Amino acid sequence: MRVIRRIAKRLVRLALVLLCVALVSFGLMMVSPIDPVDAYLGPQMAQVSPEQRALIAQRWGFDEPAVVQFGHWLRQLVSGDLGWSHVYNQPVSEVIAQRFQRSVMLLGSAWLLSALLGFSLGVVAGAKEGTKLDKAISTYAFITASTPAFWLAILAVLLFSVTLGWTPTCCAGPVGVLNQDVTLVTRLHHLLLPVATLALLGIANITLHTRARMLELMRSDIATHAFAQGASRIDVAWRHGLRHASLPAITLAFASLGELFGGSILIEHVFAYPGLGQATVAAGLRSDVPLLLGIALFTALFVSLGNMLADTLYGVIDPRIKVEGT
Amino acid sequence: MRQPQPRLRAAISLVVTGLLVIGLIASQWLLGDTPQQMQFEARLAPPSVDHWLGTDALGRELWARTLAGLALSFWVGSLAAILSTLIALSLAALATLSSRLDALVSLLIDTLLSVPHLILLMLIAFALGGGTQAVIIAVAVTHWPSLARVLRAELWQLRQAPYVRMSRAFGKSRWFVLHGHLLPHLLPHCLVGALLLFPHAILHEAALTFLGFGLSPSQPAIGVLLADAMRYLSGGYWWLGVFPGLALLLMVLGFERLSRQLRRAL
C-alpha cells in the first residue's frame, strides 16, 4: 500500500509539473512579439493579401484570445494531438518521434559512456588521492566542466574531420544517399564524433562528485579500520568505496539528462545531425510554436521520468532508504 | 612546504581577477571601433605579427573582436548573475513566509528544473523577441533555482535559531526579522552564489547566441564569432574557431577558480 501511495503521489506531482510547463511555455509563446501569421508564411510573407492573412489566422485560430487558444491546445493535448508543425509540414508527434529515434542513439551512447567513464575516473582519482594520476584527472574534469560544448564540437570537427579526415563533417549519413540505404557502419561512423564530444563533456560532473565521495570514504572510520586490518588501498576502494560512491553517481547520471539534452542541441547543430536537437533550433528560429511547445513538454517528461527513475533505483540499490522514505 | 592560507589565496585570486576585469573594460575604451574595422587587403589572414590572431572574412582583427566579445560576455554574465541572485533571494524569502507560498515556490523550482536549460532559454528568448535584454532576462530567470534551494534551506534553519525566536517573541515584525537578522547572514551566501552562477551564465549566453537566439549578429559576441567560424571550418581557417572559444574557456576557468577559493575562504 505504501509503495502504491508513494508512486501515486509522484505521478500526481509529475502531472502537476507538466501542467505548469505547458502553462508557462504557452504563456511565453503568447507574449512573443513575433506575428504567428508571418511565422507561418515565412519568406512568402510578401505574396499574401490581407484577406488571405485573415483566412490563415482563422484556420489556425490565431485570431482568438490566448485563453481560448490555450483551452483548444490543452483539449487536443489530452486526446494525444500535439498539433501541426509548419516547418516540417507534419504532425508534431510524428516529427518528435522520428527525430527522437535518431537522437536516442546519440543521447544513449553518450550518456552510458560518460556515466561509466566518469564513474571509473572518479573512483581511481579518489582512491589515489594526491598522486599525479589524481591531479591529472581532477584538472581534466575542472577544465571540461568549464568548456563550452559547441566549442569542443568545433575543435573536434577541425581536428578529426578537416585536418585528419578521419570522420565526416556532417549529417547522419553521406549526402545524396537515401536514409534507408545507409549501412550500419556508415551510420556509426557519422555518430562517432558527436557521441565522443557529448560524452567527453558529461564526464566531468560525475567524476568530480564520485571523487569527493571516494575521498569521504577513504578518510572515514571504516577505511581506517580496514587499513588497520591490513587491507590495501585498492581493497578498500573496491570493497567499500565503490558501493559508497555508486549511489550518488547513479542519481547524478539520471539528474543530468536535461543537461545532456541541452548539450545534444548544440552538438547536433554543429554536426548538422538531423535529430531532435536540430529540430528544436529550427522550430525556434522559424517560430514553429506547436513544435516548440511539443518539444518543451516532451523533454520535460523525459527529464522528470529520469529523476523519478533515479529515486526508484536508489531504493532498489540501497534497501535502507525504503524504510526511511515512507 | 607550507600551504598558503585559503583566505590569502582567495584574496590574491580576487585581486588578479579584478585587475584582469579592469584591464578588459579599459581595453574596450582604448579599442574604440577596431573590432568592426575592415581591412580589405587582409581578409581571412592567418595569425602573424601584423594580425595577432588572424582576421575574419571581412578582414576584421580577430584579437580585437575576441576582446570585445569577452567584455560583452562579462557584462551580460554579471548582470544576469546579479539579477538571478536577487530572484533567488526574494523567492527564498517569500517561501519562508508561509507554507502555501513555500509549496508554490517549490513547484516553480520543479517546473524550471524539469525543462532542459537550453530549451527554456530558447523559449524565453523567443518570447522576448531576442536581443541583449532578452538574453540577460532569460539567463537570469533560468539560473536561480539551485541558489534558491540553498538559501531556502538556510533560512528555514535560521528561523529556528534562538536569537531569531527571541526577536519574534519580543514582538518584532516578520519584516524586521527578515531584514535585520536574516539578510545579513545570507549575504555571503548570495555573493558566492552569484559568483558560482556567473560562469554558467556566460556559457549559456554564448550557447544561446551561437544558436542564433541571443545577441544580434552585428555585435562581436563570442557566440557570434564562433557561429561565423562554423561557415569557414572546412576551408581550414582554424583560427576563427579556436581563439574566441579558448578565450571564453580561460575566462570561465578563471571565475570558476575564484569562486571555488572564495567558498573555501568564507
| pLDDT value, residue A67 | 86
Q: Read off the C-alpha cell for B19.
A: 585587475
The pLDDT tens digits of the residues spanning A85-113 come to 888 989 999 999 999 998 998 999 999 99
DSSP-assigned letter for residue B55 = B
| pLDDT value, residue A31 | 86
Q: Assign A90 to helix, strand or coil.
A: strand
Q: Read off the C-alpha cell for B263.
A: 567558498
Q: What is the mean pLDDT of residues A105-128?
A: 92
Checking if the pLDDT of A323 tops 50, the result is: no
Mean pLDDT of chain B: 89
**A296 within 8 A of B115, measured Cβ to Cβ:** yes
| pLDDT value, residue B63 | 92
Q: Where are the beta strands (DSSP E) in chain B?
A: none
Q: Is A31 in the B-facing interface, judged by CB distances under 8 Å? A: yes
Name the residue with higher pLDDT: B175 or B229. Answer: B229
Nearest Cα residue to B226 out of B22, B73, B82: B73
| pLDDT class of B18 with cuts at 50, 70, 90 | very high
Surface of A (127-146) touching B: CB under 8 A: 142-143, 145-146
Checking if the pLDDT of B3 tops 70, the result is: no
Q: Do A143 and B253 touch (CB under 8 A)?
A: yes
Nearest CB to A154: which of B118, B199, B241? B241
In terms of C-beta density within 10 A (0-12 exposed, 13-18 middle, 19 or more buried), how is residue B184 classed?
Answer: exposed
For residue B9, what are the contacts with CB-CB under 8 A and spacing of at least 6? B261, B265
Chain B nearest-CA distance from A229, in A, is 32
| pLDDT value, residue A326 | 38
Q: Read off the C-alpha cell for A71.
A: 483551452
Task: Name the residue in chain B with its Cα closest to that of A282.
Answer: B211
Q: Is A149 in the B-facing interface, judged by CB distances under 8 Å? A: yes
Which of chain A's residues have a Cβ under 8 Å away from the Cβ of B230?
A: 154, 270
CA B240 to mean position of chain CA atoms: 24
- DSSP structure string for A147-209: S-HHHHHHHHIIIIIIIS--S-SSSSS-TTS-GGG--HHHHHHHHHHHHHHHHHHHHHHHHHH
Q: Read off the C-alpha cell for B108.
A: 516553480
Checking if the pLDDT of B254 tops 60, the result is: yes
Q: How far apart are CA A104 and CA B26, in angstroms?
A: 47
Q: How far apart are CA B154 and CA B148, in angstroms?
A: 10
The lowest-confidence range among A221-230, A305-314, B37-46, B124-133 is A305-314
Which of chain A's residues have a Cβ under 8 Å away from the Cβ of B107?
A: 16-17, 20
Q: Read off the C-alpha cell for A326.
A: 515512507
Percent of chain B with pLDDT over 70: 98
Nearest CB to A303: which of B107, B114, B123? B114
The domain ranges of chain A are 90-325
The pLDDT tens digits of the residues spanning A241-256 come to 888 888 888 888 888 8
Q: What is the mean pLDDT of residues A61-69?
A: 83
Nearest CB to B123: which of A143, A261, A296? A296
Checking if the pLDDT of A155 tops 60, the result is: yes
Q: What is the mean pLDDT of residues A302-322?
A: 77
Q: Do A292 and B211 touch (CB under 8 A)?
A: no
DSSP-assigned letter for residue A238 = I
Q: Assign B87 to helix, strand or coil.
A: helix
Nearest CB to A280: which of B119, B242, B253? B119
Nearest CB to A16: which of B107, B120, B127? B107
Other Cβ atoms within 10 Å of B107 Cβ, number: 14
Checking if the pLDDT of B244 tops 90, the result is: yes
The lowest-confidence range among A1-5, B7-11, B98-102 is A1-5
| pLDDT class of A197 with cuts at 50, 70, 90 | very high
| pLDDT value, residue B4 | 62
Give the Å distances, CA to CA, from B33 to A48, B36, B69.
Answer: 42, 6, 13
Q: Read off the C-alpha cell for B51.
A: 594580425
Q: How far apart are CA B200 and CA B204, in angstroms?
A: 6
The pLDDT tens digits of the residues spanning A207-230 come to 999 999 999 888 889 888 988 998
For residue A238, what are the contacts with CB-CB under 8 A and spacing of at least 6? none
Checking if the pLDDT of A170 tops 50, the result is: yes
Name the residue with higher pLDDT: B172 or A299. Answer: A299
Q: Is A70 in the B-facing interface, judged by CB distances under 8 Å? A: no
User: CATH topology for A90-325?
Assistant: MetI-like fold (1.10.3720)
Q: Do A154 and B124 touch (CB under 8 A)?
A: no
Checking if the pLDDT of B1 tops 60, the result is: no
The pLDDT tens digits of the residues spanning B179-191 come to 888 888 888 889 8
Q: Do A262 and B118 touch (CB under 8 A)?
A: yes
Mean pLDDT of chain A: 86
The pLDDT tens digits of the residues spanning A255-278 come to 888 889 999 999 999 998 889 999
| pLDDT value, residue A324 | 43
Give the Å distances, CA to CA, from B156 to A323, B148, B152, B221, B249.
Answer: 26, 12, 6, 41, 37
| pLDDT value, residue A322 | 53
Length of chain A, in residues: 326
Nearest Cα residue to A92 out of A285, A291, A302: A291
| pLDDT class of B136 with cuts at 50, 70, 90 | very high
Q: Is A239 in the B-facing interface, judged by CB distances under 8 Å? A: no
| Cα angle: B227, vertex B197, B257; to 5 degrees | 90
Q: Do A151 and B248 touch (CB under 8 A)?
A: yes
Name the residue with higher pLDDT: B263 or B215. Answer: B215
The one-letter amino acid at B250: L
Which of chain A's residues have a Cβ under 8 Å away from the Cβ of B249?
A: 143, 146-148, 151
Give the Å distances, CA to CA, from A178 to A173, A175, A181.
Answer: 9, 8, 5
Asked whether this complex has an ipTM greater than 0.90, the answer is: no
Q: How far apart are CA A199 and CA A197, in angstroms?
A: 5
Percent of chain B with pLDDT over 90: 42
**A153 within 8 A of A167, measured Cβ to Cβ:** no
Chain A nearest-CA distance from B128, in A, is 6
For residue A5, what are the contacts with CB-CB under 8 A and spacing of at least 6? none
